[in-house]
Amino acid sequence: MSESISRRELFVQGAFYGGSLWAFVNLPRPRAARAAEQSAERLVFDEAQWKTVEAVTARIIPTDHEPGAVEANCVNFIDKTLAHEDAALKPFYLAGLAGLDAVARKRFEKPFVELKPAQQDEVLAALESGNADGWPIPQIPSAQFFEAMRAHTVIGFLADPKYGGNRGYAGWKVMGYPGGGHHLGGYSPGQLLGTEKIETAWGEEV
Amino acid sequence: MAKREEFDVCVIGTGAGGGVMIQELTAAGFRVVALQRGPYLKPADFDDDELRTIIRDQVFSADQVETYRYDENSPTETGRFNYMANCVGGTMTHWAAWSWRFRPDDFRVLSAEGPVAGASLADWPISYEEMEPFYERAEWDFGVSGDAAANPFGAPRKKAYPNPPHPPRRASELLAKGMRKLGHHPFPTPLAINSRPYAGRPECAYGGACLGYGCPIHAKATTLSVCIPKALATGKLDLRPNAMAREVTLGRDGRARSVRYLDDAGTEHEVFARHVVVAGNAVGTPHLLLMSTSGSFPRGLANSSGLVGRNLTLHHIAAVGFTADGPTRSYAGAHSHVACDDFHPSDARRGFIRGGVIAESNSAVNQPLSFGLVSFLGYPAKRGWGAELKQYLRGFPRAVALAAVLEDLPMESNRIDLDVYVKDRYGLPAPRITHRQHPNDFAMNRWYTRQMMDIADAAGAQEKWDAVFYSLPEERSAMKGFMHFHGTCRMGDDPSKSVVDRWCRSHDVKNLWVVDGSVFPTAGGYNPTLTILANAYRVADHFVREAKRQNV
């Protein structure tokens, strides 16, 4: 599957350097991009689009015994990044969302938000495979749009809460990340070894 | 009209090569003007904001653009492939501070291996013995921490490291145990990061975000934290940030005369100097020389050999990640705390020549986004979303990662030239990277991946994953870029086969010097920075000595 090959190819260099080789690194971004304030105000999506994106994020990082993308407010992160740093992606995104609903209607005769979770997974898997029956935009590969939503959801779940997602540190709690080490004042030799606890950014110990 | 100001030396680039030249020349009393693309950042500008620094890349190189193509018949793609930092201090500002000496045979690869089909192997014109005192100088100026006695395979040395090793984290203990179990010889990765207060800089706080980040307390040694302050204190340095060099001009006497550069607003300036040192990294240096055309040098300055930009090497990386059965603390500490160098000697029986070093490398397992986006790319889950992704994310506190930095064989067709179709924000032609791998690289990468998978098992891996670099179709496996670039202005004794001489002085233009990774004839299987530093000390030593005799 070509999608998975390209993912793994990125890992070769990314594994050494960190994240900067992923899909949108070459986006033209405003030089003085400003971080999104945490805010429930919709800046890019209308109400229906907001609900659709939220439903997609819920399938990408589902809620189980712990919070998922919905509780972390990933849709808010995506709305804010499309308003600011990733504004160049906005037309692509809005067209893609219309495409998502077109595929959902073709397959199940309902918009995406009204489908059952298993049906939603089917639609997303079709987009990811690049063979989504009813995908109306030949200029935008559906797999590329899916990957944009997937990556944005992961970022919204795991980026610093100041960017509008990761609400209440939900993502970091699931992951077991205590917060930025510089902000926590660094670590002692005992903490490096795991023999001493670390106090997290939200005041618990791990 | 006021008399035109002329400096003794103009240094272009303030990274490992340029920074040391600036430090040494100003200390010797020369008046130096330094040009650096990008801002003069301070420790307060650095933090561990992963989205801003790594994913969105808004700190170090927001405006950089390059193009890449596999070979001359392939289409180009536009992007950013060279992970250099455009700021005072250059790429060292966000380096991981791994500080290796090359081994003696790294300086004579052609003699040691003989010619290899498809590769342009060469010997360095200098030996390890000539470099040794300057390696020592670099280690002591930059406060390298380590335990030389613990590595039986290291290059011979006269003096120990100036600082003791850093304390281990749980992940590095597990790796050391696994390596020992297999009969390897683990040792603390030598790092130019303070393990105790040293040279006026504090000890490391072990915050966990190192490679790709600037150090907010300057515990990490960089030319920004070590060389630039010393040079400014002499009063001999005119430091000009936000200065993008666009041309080195040639005088009627055949000597470099001035450097033209663009400031942040795109306004052109010109600065005059008796000597010009180009230290713009192995992409930036040929980029500048190729843009500097004249009647005498229609193919680019100092390019009578036609080799400016050619023989590009950029290493290739093998990477393995795994999860252990308990907390590993990979998100705390430096980038690497343990290494083993048991496999470095060349051995054709393995199916390839040359080699590289294996070390813990936490950059894809230390921060949440790198783990969630990048490390996952190699993870053998069926799906990058849903319950499988969430399960994967929960493995973060137990993650360990290691990497091998591997020597790629030089090929003349791998090169930097100018892309006439794509312009950067200054309106200059973008550097174009043409790069594919030699077959030797694939065999080496496969072999090293296997060794690291074995180490992962011996270290108690629950789940493990690798980068499968070698199993992709050849054209998809080519490294498009990296942080280590070398070879594009080879040094050598023969002017028809090299760009600069053994003192890194142009064969063609006698007051033009190239002092960065460009001069490496071969890449070595180690991170290059300590060797760039040591070589710069060597060149500066020669320059100062000869200048006193009025020989330069």
pLDDT tens figures, B328-352: 999 999 999 999 999 999 999 999 9
Give the whole-angstrom CA distance, residue A140 versus residue A147: 12
What is residue A21's predicted lDDT score, i.e. its pLDDT?
44
How far apart are the CA of B299 and the nearest CA of chain A, in angstroms? Answer: 30
Give the residue from B372, B318, B339 showing the smallest Cα distance to B96: B339
The helix (run of H) or strand (run of E) holding residue B399 is strand B399-406
Nearest CA in chain B to A118: B386
How far apart are the CA of B25 and the nearest CA of chain A, in angstroms? Answer: 33
pLDDT at B448 over 60: yes
Q: Which residue stretches of chain A have pLDDT < 70?
A: 1-40
**Exposed (0-12), middle (13-18) or buried (19+): which is B233, by Cβ within 10 Å?**
exposed
* Locus of tokens 């940030």: B241
Nearest CA in chain A to B478: A9
Chain B contact for A70 (CB, 8 A cutoff) = no
Position with higher pLDDT, A34 vs B426: B426
The string of pLDDT tens digits covering residues B402-417 is 999 999 999 999 999 9
The string of pLDDT tens digits covering residues B310-331 is 999 999 989 999 999 999 999 9
Length of chain A: 206
**For range B524-530, the mean pLDDT:** 97
The string of pLDDT tens digits covering residues B283-302 is 999 999 999 999 999 999 99
Contacts of B485 in chain A (CB under 8 A): none
Contacts of A85 in chain B (CB under 8 A): 56
What is residue A184's predicted lDDT score, i.e. its pLDDT?
81
Inspect the interface and report whether the beta carbons of B329 and A181 lie closer than 8 Å: no
Q: Give the domains, in start order, of chain B with CATH numbers.
A: 1-142+221-315+411-434+485-552 (3.50.50.60), 155-214+316-406+436-478 (3.30.410)
pLDDT at B541 over 80: yes
Under DSSP, is residue A93 helix (H, G, I), strand (E, B) or coil?
helix
How far apart are the CA of B377 and the nearest CA of chain A, in angstroms? Answer: 5
pTM of the model: 0.95
Average of per-residue pLDDT values in chain B: 95
Phi/psi for B3 (5° steps) reads: -65, 135
Least confident range of A185-194, B77-86, B173-182, B211-220 = B77-86
Q: Closest partner residue to B386 among A16, A59, A187, by Cβ?
A: A59
Nearest CA in chain B to A62: B386
Q: What is the DSSP letter of B486?
A: B
Share of chain B above pLDDT 90, in %: 88
**For range B342-367, the mean pLDDT:** 95
* Locus of tokens 């009063």: B235
* Locus of tokens 């390019």: B303
Contacts of B57 in chain A (CB under 8 A): 20, 25
pLDDT at B79 over 90: no
Phi/psi for B5 (5° steps) reads: -75, 130
Which sign does the torsion angle of CA B510, B511, B517, B518 carry? negative
**For range B29-36, the mean pLDDT:** 98
Q: Which of residues 21-60 of A touch B (CB under 8 A)?
A: 21-22, 25-26, 29, 31, 33, 35, 59-60
Share of chain B above pLDDT 70, in %: 98
Position with higher pLDDT, A60 vs B468: A60
Give the whole-angstrom CA distance, residue B370 versus residue B353: 33
Q: Specify which of A129-133, B71-75, B541-545 reaches the highest per-range mean pLDDT.
A: B541-545
Least confident range of B79-93, B158-172, B299-313, B499-513 = B79-93
**For range B223-245, the mean pLDDT:** 98
Angle, in degrees to the nearest 10, between helices B529-548 and B16-27 = 30
Give the whole-angstrom CA distance, residue B346 versus residue B328: 33
Q: Domain boundaries in chain A?
A: 2-11+36-175, 179-206
Give the whole-angstrom CA distance, residue B207 versus residue B335: 10
ipTM above 0.90, yes or no: yes
How far apart are the CA of B492 and the nearest CA of chain A, in angstroms? Answer: 31
What is residue B350's predicted lDDT score, i.e. its pLDDT?
96
Give the whole-angstrom CA distance, residue A103 versus residue A141: 13
